[in-house]
Chains A and B, each alone.
Chain A
Amino acid sequence: GNSVTQMEGPVTLSEEAFLTINCTYTATGYPSLFWYVQYPGEGLQLLLKATKADDKGSNKGFEATYRKETTSFHLEKGSVQVSDSAVYFCALSLYQAGTALIFGKGTTLSVSS
């Protein structure tokens, strides 16, 4: 079946530290891949996306590269800020499967100053 696996949290970092959140997927076709972010008390926001192999999605200093050979879509940021504290969800969608999103369990990031 189709699924997404994220690294377990919480992740606790100091401001300006480097961030990596691992995400791997299993899919029967060629998925589109997404990172969504949920800030405390807020709704779910699209952070970035990639729709085919080797695509790099980027937004707000975050980046993720669609790696078909390792079925991964790891989220990275070179220097995190306190305002990046949130829950991050990796997700995939498959046109063949009706395009609904399949989410990972989410990773909580806490950044301290």
Chain B
Amino acid sequence: SAVISQKPSRDICQRGTSLTIQCQVDSQVTMMFWYRQQPGQSLTLIATANQGSEATYESGFVIDKFPISRPNLTFSTLTVSNMSPEDSSIYLCSVLSTGRSEQYFGPGTRLTVT
């Protein structure tokens, strides 16, 4: 399975600021995704990060709030913009490799907004 790292692992931010989360994979992957896990809840897909083009967002998530980049096949960033306490969550990236059905997840970024 791919080895996935995320930075930062955790952060405490003030409302109104922005945080960029990085996801790095040790091999080229077909697809990368960003999920949110709110406290005590399940995972919800934010968007699919498309290499070389705009991300595909799920209902309820917009590019202005969660801009995503994917400049190559091993790296992606998610920015949480103009944060409010409701954005306090764990943000996880996941990857899907060509010919595989299962996704593998990074360790997550635990964000607290005060």
Interface residues of A (CB under 8 A from B): 32, 34, 36, 42-46, 49, 51, 89, 93, 98-106
A98 to B56: give the CA distance in the assembly, Å.
10
Q: With A98-B48, A99-B96 as given contacts, are A105 and B103 in contact (CB-CB < 8 Å)?
A: no
Question: Which residue of A44, A51, A106 contacts B105 across the interface (Cβ within 8 Å)?
Answer: A44
- Name B's interface SS: strand
Return chain A residues, CB-CB under 8 Å to B21: none
Residue interface bits B1-18, CB-to-A below 8 A is 1, else 0: 100000000000000000
Binds A, one of B37-45, B60-68, B69-77: B37-45
B102 to chain A: which residues have CB within 8 Å? 32, 34, 46, 49
| Inter-subunit contact A105/B33 (CB<8 Å) | no
| Chief secondary structure at chain A's binding surface | strand
Closest beta carbon of chain B to A27's beta carbon, Å: 14
Judge whether A44 and B56 touch: CB under 8 Å: no
Least Cβ–Cβ distance between A39 and chain B, in angstroms: 12
7 of the cross-chain contacts (CB-CB < 8 Å) are A43-B107, A49-B101, A89-B43, A98-B48, A101-B43, A101-B103, A103-B42
Could you say which residues of chain A place their CB within 8 Å of the CB of B107? 42-43
List the B side residues contacting A36 at CB < 8 Å.
105
Partner of A51, one of B33, B58, B101, B104: B101
**Residues A46 and B104 in contact, CB atoms below 8 Å apart:** yes
